[in-house]
Chains A and B, each alone.
Chain A
Amino acid sequence: MSTTTENDTGKSNSVHAGKPVTVDRYTGGARINHWITAGSLVLLALSGLSLFHPRLFFLSALFGGGQLVRAIHPWIGVVLFFSFLGLFLRFWKLNLWKREDGTWLARGRDVLTAHDERLPEIGKYNAGQKLVFWSMSILIIVLIASGVVIWDEYFAAFTTIEQKRWAVLVHSIAAILAISVWITHVYAAIWVKGTIRGMVRGSVTGGWAWRYHRKWLRELVAKPHAKDEKTTAAE
Chain B
Amino acid sequence: MFPPVPNPSTGPQNPKFGENDLMRRSASSVTPPAERQTEVAKLIDVSKCIGCKACQSACIEWNDTHPEIEENTGVFENPHDLTPDMFTLMRFTEWENPETNNLEWLIRKDGCMHCEDPGCLKACPAPGAIVQYSNGIVDFVHENCIGCGYCIKGCPFNIPRISQVDHTAYKCTLCSDRIAVGQGPACAKACPTQAIVYGTKEEMKKHAEGRITDLKSRGFANAGLYDPPGVGGTHVMYVLHHADKPEIYAGLPNDPRISPIVEAWKGVTKYAGLAVMGVAAVTGFLHYMVNGPNRVTEEDEEAAERLTGDRSS
Contacts and interface: CB of A to CB of B under 8 A. Distances in A.
A57 B146 CA distance: 11
A173 B269 contact: yes
Interface string B269-297: 11011101100110010011001011111
Contacts of A19: 301, 305
A30 interface: no
B304 A206 contact: yes
Given A70-B146, A211-B300, A21 B308 contact: yes
Contacts of B276: 176-177, 180
A183 B277 contact: yes
Given A57-B127, A193-B296, A221 B269 contact: no
Contact of B280 (A112, A114, A184): A184
A54 B27 contact: yes
Interface hub of A20, A67, A114, A207 (most chain B Cβ within 10 A): A207
Given A51-B125, A52-B125, A168-B153, A173 B273 contact: yes
A195 to B, nearest CB: 9
A179 B273 CA distance: 10
A179 B303 contact: no
Contacts of A210: 296, 300-301, 303-304, 307
Contact of B270 (A52, A206, A208): A52
Given A57-B127, A165-B262, A176-B277, A20 B301 contact: yes
Nearest to B148: A70
Interface in A93-118: 112-114, 116
B24 to A, nearest CB: 12
A6 B86 CA distance: 63
Contact of B304 (A162, A173, A209): A209
Interface hub of A67, A116, A210 (most chain B Cβ within 10 A): A210
Contacts of A116: 294
A92 to B, nearest CB: 25
B162 interface: yes
Contact of B308 (A17, A112, A153): A17
Interface hub of A54, A113, A187 (most chain B Cβ within 10 A): A54
A156 interface: yes
B237 to A, nearest CB: 23
Interface residues of A, number: 60
Contacts of B182: none
B287 A112 contact: yes
Nearest to A69: B146
A120 to B, nearest CB: 16
Nearest to A194: B296
B240 to A, nearest CB: 23
B207 interface: no
A222 interface: yes
A114 B294 contact: yes
A218 B306 CA distance: 12
Interface hub of B144, B162, B273, B296 (most chain A Cβ within 10 A): B296
Given A192-B294, A221-B308, A206 B301 contact: yes
A164 B158 CA distance: 12
Contacts of B125: 50-52, 54, 57, 66
A66 B304 contact: no
A20 B306 CA distance: 11
Contacts of A35: none
Contacts of A169: 261-262, 264-265, 269
Contacts of B303: 207, 210
B311 interface: yes
B149 interface: yes
Given A20-B305, A180-B280, A191-B288, 6 more contacts: A15-B311, A54-B27, A70-B146, A71-B167, A176-B277, A187-B287
16 contacts: A20-B301, A51-B148, A53-B270, A54-B125, A57-B126, A162-B259, A172-B269, A173-B269, A176-B276, A176-B277, A180-B276, A192-B293, A193-B296, A206-B301, A207-B302, A221-B308
Interface of B: 27-28, 125-127, 144, 146-150, 152-153, 158, 162, 167, 259, 261-262, 264-265, 269-270, 272-274, 276-277, 280-281, 284, 287-288, 291, 293-298, 300-305, 307-312
